[in-house]
Amino acid sequence: IAADVPALLRQWESSSERFELVIADPPSFAPSATARDKALRAYEQLHRACLRLLAPGGLLLAASCSSHVDRAAFEEALARAAQACGVVVQVVERWGAPPDHPCLLAFPEGDYLKATLVRVAS
């Protein structure tokens, strides 16, 4: 699908169709540390739009490749989105970089790949 994502999500929300799975894997929203807060707001907005499209019991795979947003902050934005939508989500699985993409302890920004699969409690 080649479309303006926010507009498409609004269009789908206005229809009665709901999905069992939505995947949100945008490009990096935080190219620099100064963009972190703006990125977190963008993730929250994206996740709100995606959660509104899910059927009860549906799954959202939320992913990020933003090196300036750690997993805790990313999942806090996801939790705020769920709260704003009035839904309870359960973490099903979390993923990070694969074994062939090691991260240095002295360089936490290298641990930038993150994905969280949540289920909307029915």
Task: Kindly give the residue spans of alpha helices, DSSP state H, lying in 15-70.
Answer: 36-51
Going 114 to 70 to 85 to 49, the CA torsion angle's sign is negative
Q: Is 50 helix (H, G, I), strand (E, B) or coil?
A: helix
Catalytic member of 50, 65, 85, 103: 65
How far is Cα 68 from Cα 93, in angstroms, rounded to an integer? Answer: 22
Would you call 85 a catalytic residue per the annotation? no
- Looking at the annotation, which residues are catalytic? 65
